[in-house]
Amino acid sequence: MSRFALRVLVLEDHSFQRSLAVGMLRQLGCREVFEAADGAEALAILHEVGPVDIALCDLRMEGMDGLEFLQRVGGSRQVGSVILCSSLSADVRRSVRQIISLLGLEFLGDVGKPLCMEALEALLKKRWHAPATGQPPPAVPQVVREDEIRHALVQGQMQAYYQPKFDLRTGQVRGVEVLARWLHPLMGLLSPAAFMPLLESCGLMDELLFEQMEQALDLQCQLRHQSHALNMAFNLQAAQLANDELAPRIKALLTRHAASGAGLTFELTESGLLQAAHTSIKNLVRLRMMGCCLAIDDFGAGFSSLQRLCALPFTEIKLDAEFVRTLRHEPRCQAVIGSTLALGQALGMSVVIEGIETEEQRQQLLRLGGRTGQGYLCARPMSGAQLLQWLGQQRICA
């Protein structure tokens, strides 16, 4: 039997269910297991014994319920991860998962009831690979000076990385999303979390966009010579759309590279859509007039506006990855995906499904009518040189 040197707190008001959970955790080799009948007792235990790696948490109980407990410990670092163990309906548990994320807690999984040892063991294995309590994960390097990030842009340290969008049936690559990475001379390759907030606060998002476009259009030209005609997709923010000079600069860039607007897609999140003003809409129209495609990114993650969807000149919907992550167990997510696919077809818009990581997900999405996806099943983001090599080896996802 597996052994996990983890500290776990079981929050369950039903004595038999609590005893069952404690017994399973001890059988699986957890180092310490604590138990509480309600949230107040759980808080008292944490105060006495210190932080735990996992809280196995029921939601509905007579005393302080599980939701109130989670609100109390959110941001306190007293609980590393949360596993839900509740008989409440799937839609209620799904909403609680969103609350857990908003509280800054790591959601490890939902085992439901009755508790299954195999499912519990799988989540313990998942947590075991993360840093244990008392050993916080390495801090994301933060560059705090504006001059450093300006220097990085001038010196070409901001590198474009590419993640393929692929045909769910054949694995053929349809295009790529262009993502930013900082090749820092001292700290190595940094993800956007390390520098994007500073870029935004310094008003440097346009500089990053056009640096990415320069690199991507050069790569697109190389790909054409290798008989790969790939669309390049770039992320745009609402603030960038409000700039009158955006569309003319993109047009000039396309002219300089002898590139067609039809080879570009610009992705805007739903929150950006809701903020779209007169200038923003004008820029969207100008981009379409240049032949560019426009995508609504993370569709379904915010408060979707169907009116905006109909009124603005978008050509593509990118369905948020959260729907794929819960696809297997939640009929509502299947319904949302199926409905979005039907909506896209009715509006003449393509639908790209994000977050596909397993073959099982791909098969489910095919049965629902999905055609195009993006995710680790096909490929992780890669540099331009890696993309050229990867395509040259004719790797497919099917």
158, 383 Cβ separation under 8 angstroms: no
162, 364 Cβ separation under 8 angstroms: no
The residue type at 316: E
CA angle 35, 40, 45 (to 5 degrees): 45
Q: List residues with catalytic annotation.
A: 354
Give 351: exposed, middle or buried? Use CB within 10 Å, 0-12, 13-18, 19+: buried
Helix 278-289 × helix 246-256 angle, to 10°: 20
Tokens of 197: 């907030």
DSSP 321-379: THHHHTTTT-HHHHHHHHHHHHHHHHHT-EEEEE---SHHHHHHHHHHT--EEESTTT-
Q: How many residues does the chain have?
A: 398
Q: How far is 223 from 267, CA to CA, in rounded Å?
A: 22
104 Rama class: left (phi>0) / alpha (psi -120 to 50) / beta? left
Q: How far is 258 from 254, CA to CA, in rounded Å?
A: 6
Secondary structure of 198-241 as H, E, C letters: HHHHCCCHHHHHHHHHHHHHHHHHHHHHCCCCCEEEEEECHHHH
Q: How far is CA 340 from CA 92, 185, 195, 316, 346, in A?
A: 22, 44, 33, 11, 10
